[in-house]
């Protein structure tokens, strides 16, 4: 239950957003996930809520309550551009659905977005969004089926014996081409001490089918993983900046790349990359907080 102080704070939030009214029960409210802005600054994800916006009125993403919806939104106009199929994740005043989280990654050219919604034990939603055609497709079930086929072939007797008990997660997605992406795939039985499987998978979804293209038990090496992490936080930061700030970041990045390339030895380069990730992450998080606070004024 939410205390009176929290209720007052949420009420003030609605007023600050300019969305409180006498018809509150019928009104649809819009909230931006500021950490999902595209590299070109044009799009982000948002969630909408019809009816009351209070913590004890917020449904679980498991629920059939469709009062919460997830959308691709055009930032300049705040126009709802595309509804994400069956996605009902929300984030309010530091709270989110219990045991749920959402991860996103954009392609470098902002044409594609992967959205991953996780519960405590499994991936619930894995959605690919095409901003050119404005289409979104849920891929989680097809990916699970492909992963199960792989495990039935390679997982041995242990998987086959307890296959119905396994839960599946797909994390750390990364675009490796148009409609092609890598993921870390995990299959495990909750609270079990044995029988866990970890793979690195590449999927292709250029057609109406999702195809498991490649599989291995090891993913990128440490330096490639760090580079991907750096690229992801860079993309998530640059979309939040004003034009002059964006240009300044581009120039700053060129200087930093020259410094990294001149470092001698892999350890020295890795140290520079980790420091850069921390720096850009802080700048991104500070900017997200700034934008969120501005909407509350």
pLDDT digits (tens, 9 = 90+) for 226-242: 999 999 999 999 999 99
Residue 4 has pLDDT above 80, yes or no: no
Phi then psi dihedrals of residue 199, to 5 deg: -130, 165
Whole-number Å distance between alpha carbons of 159 and 153: 10
Predicted local confidence at residue 295, as pLDDT: 66
For helices 266-295 and 243-262, give the axis angle rounded to 10 degrees.
170
Q: In what order do the strands lie in the sheet with 101-106?
A: 101-106, 112-118, 123-130, 135-138
As a whole number, mean pLDDT of residues 276-292 equals 94
Residue 20 has pLDDT above 60, yes or no: no
Residue 17 has pLDDT above 90, yes or no: no
pLDDT confidence tier of residue 11, bands split at 50, 70 and 90: very low
> What are 80-127's pLDDT values in tens digits?
999 999 999 998 877 899 999 999 999 999 999 999 999 999 999 999
> What are 159-216's pLDDT values in tens digits?
999 999 999 999 999 999 999 999 999 999 999 988 999 999 999 998 778 999 999 9
Tell me what percent of the residues of the chain surpass a pLDDT of 90: 74
The domain spans of the chain are 1-136, 139-219, 223-295
Indicate the fold that domain 139-219 takes in CATH.
Nuclear Transport Factor 2; Chain: A, (3.10.450)
H-run or E-run covering 113:
strand 112-118
Q: For the chain, what is the mean pLDDT?
A: 89
Predicted local confidence at residue 251, as pLDDT: 97
Whole-number Å distance between alpha carbons of 26 and 22: 9
Residue 61 has pLDDT above 80, yes or no: yes
Helices (H) and strands (E) in the chain, counts: 6, 12
């Amino acid at each position: 239950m939410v205390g009176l102080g929290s209720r007052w704070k949420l009420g003030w939030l609605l007023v600050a957003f300019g969305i409180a009214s006498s018809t509150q029960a019928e009104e649809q409210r819009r909230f931006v996930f500021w950490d999902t802005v595209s590299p070109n600054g044009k799009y982000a994800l948002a969630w909408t809520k019809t009816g009351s916006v209070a913590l004890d009125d917020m449904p679980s993403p498991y629920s059939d309550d469709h009062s919460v919806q997830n959308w691709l939104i055009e930032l300049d106009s705040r126009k709802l551009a595309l509804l994400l199929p069956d996605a009902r994740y929300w984030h309010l005043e530091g709270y989110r659905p219990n045991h749920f989280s959402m991860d996103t990654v954009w392609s470098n050219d902002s044409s594609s977005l992967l959205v991953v919604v996780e519960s405590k034990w499994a991936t619930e939603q894995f959605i690919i969004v095409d901003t050119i055609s404005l289409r979104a497709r849920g891929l989680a079930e097809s990916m699970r089926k492909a992963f199960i086929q792989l495990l039935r072939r390679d997982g041995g007797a242990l998987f086959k014996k307890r296959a119905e008990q396994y839960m599946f997660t797909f994390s750390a997605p990364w675009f490796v081409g148009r409609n092609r992406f890598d993921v870390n795939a995990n299959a495990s039985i909750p609270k079990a001490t044995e029988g866990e499987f970890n793979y690195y998978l590449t999927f292709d979804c250029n057609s109406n089918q999702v195809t498991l293209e490649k599989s291995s038990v090891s993913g990128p090496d440490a330096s490639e993983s760090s580079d991907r992490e750096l690229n992801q936080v860079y993309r998530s930061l640059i979309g939040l900046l004003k034009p002059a700030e964006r240009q300044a970041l581009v120039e700053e990045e060129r200087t930093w790349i020259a410094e990294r390339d001149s470092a001698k030895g892999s350890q020295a380069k890795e140290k520079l990359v980790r420091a850069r990730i921390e720096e850009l992450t802080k700048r991104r998080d500070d900017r997200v907080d700034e934008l969120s606070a501005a909407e509350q004024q």
